[in-house]
Amino acid sequence: MQDYSFMTIEEIFLLQDALKKNKRQILKFILIGLTLVLIAAYVPQFFLKRRYSEEEIDATMFSYRNTWFWVWLLSFVLVLVFALIKVTDVRYFTIKKDLTLLQKGQIKVPLEHVYQGNNDMQTSFIVKQEGVRKRKRLFYWMRGRLDDFKSGQEVEIIYGRYSRIILNISKA
């Protein structure tokens, strides 16, 4: 059983900082998606205009006037943006929920795996929780690289209840 308590002001600021970083990541992915839309919309037209007449271009799958072209292109970009968000562990909505409910959890567990992510801007910890159901959980340190922790070490983690963003971590 885990204890949940209310966050302090410093912990709220840490979560707000993590939320800003996540918002920047999402905006970056949306800009990548919009850039891909522009490239995919204009490059085929450029090559088609060199070889075909306007009527032939309008009949192709790569025409601006073809509805299926836009459906395919926008669905591809939407899937790409969500895939990038999933791969990079963006926790935007769960951090917002933590900032609304202001609950934090505290556990004392051994580390199973430690790895760096997002260009060494984030350290992720996998722990195996004991209890009724043994399960592995992933926790995120959003303030850079942590090299002091190794697999097998017993740690005490204070984290946002829903986002599992680590507010404080120390060796037990």
Output phi, psi for 62, to 5 deg.
Answer: -95, 15
DSSP state of 7: P
Q: Which CATH number fits domain 93-171: 1.20.120, 1.10.12, 2.40.128, 2.40.50?
A: 2.40.50
Contact 15, 167 (CB under 8 A): yes
For residue 127, how many other CB atoms are within 10 A of its CB? 21
User: Which residues of the chain carry a pLDDT beneath 70?
Assistant: 1-4, 61-64, 87-90, 118-120, 131-132
Residue 16: what pLDDT?
84
Query: Residues spanned by CATH 2.40.50 within the chain?
Result: 93-171
Give the C-alpha separation, 142 to 16, whole Å: 11
CB 124 within 8 A of CB 149: no
Answer for the pair 128, 139: CB distance below 8 angstroms, yes or no: no
